[in-house]
Chains A and B, each alone.
Chain A
Amino acid sequence: AQKITQTQPGMFVQEKEAVTLDCTYDTSDQSYGLFWYKQPSSGEMIFLIYQGSYDEQNATEGRYSLNFQKARKSANLVISASQLGDSAMYFCAMPRDGGATNKLIFGTGTLLAVQP
């Protein structure tokens, strides 16, 4: 069964610096996807970025990029030039059923605090 692990309960970063949020996963599937979501204190879950297991390049979306290391089964989120508005919970997720459905399982999240 798929499993997502986020080992950093909390992280601090100075404004304008880069930060890496860790995510490791476990799956026996050859084809799968990984998602990152941001949850501000208001509660909504905001989709940030997606990485497919067969994508040749690491995904990027603006200031967000994925450091995808398939052999290590890790998909770390890198946020460049941190802003105060980046302070939030961040969740890593992947489809539970090996991509047969969109049912996502989530890690326990990392709380990021951006300091001025």
Chain B
Amino acid sequence: SQTIHQWPATLVQPVGSPLSLECTVEGTSNPNLYWYRQAAGRGLQLLFYSVGIGQISSEVPQNLSASRPQDRQFILSSKKLLLSDSGFYLCAWSTRTGTNSPLHFGNGTRLTVT
């Protein structure tokens, strides 16, 4: 069966520090991968979308970047964090075939920028 791992679970970082969140998927090949952010008490906002290694689509202007160095690995990064980067970050995967296949989410990373 497929599983998705996301770490760390929580992170407290000072403003201006770098960020690296990692997500890996097991049990499937060539997944679509996603990074979402959820502000406190709000819905989810799509940040990045990837259909393959090195193929990243940025969905909103922001201070963050994403990379996909391997088929089942998705990394969210920042060189210098802003206070506004605080939030709950969720990685997700879906199958490539079937545009109405659901997204499967990791457990999320709660980031607090101080």
Contacts and interface: CB of A to CB of B under 8 A. Distances in A.
Most buried by B among A37, A102, A103: A102
Most buried by A among B42, B103, B107: B103
- Chain B interface category by residue count: 20 to 34
Interface in B59-114: 59, 88, 90, 92, 94, 99-108, 110
Contacts of A101: 32, 49, 99
A76 interface: no
A27 interface: no
B27 interface: no
Given A43-B88, A95-B99, A99-B99, A104 B104 contact: no
Contact of A44 (B43, B49, B107): B107
Contact of A91 (B43, B88, B94): B43
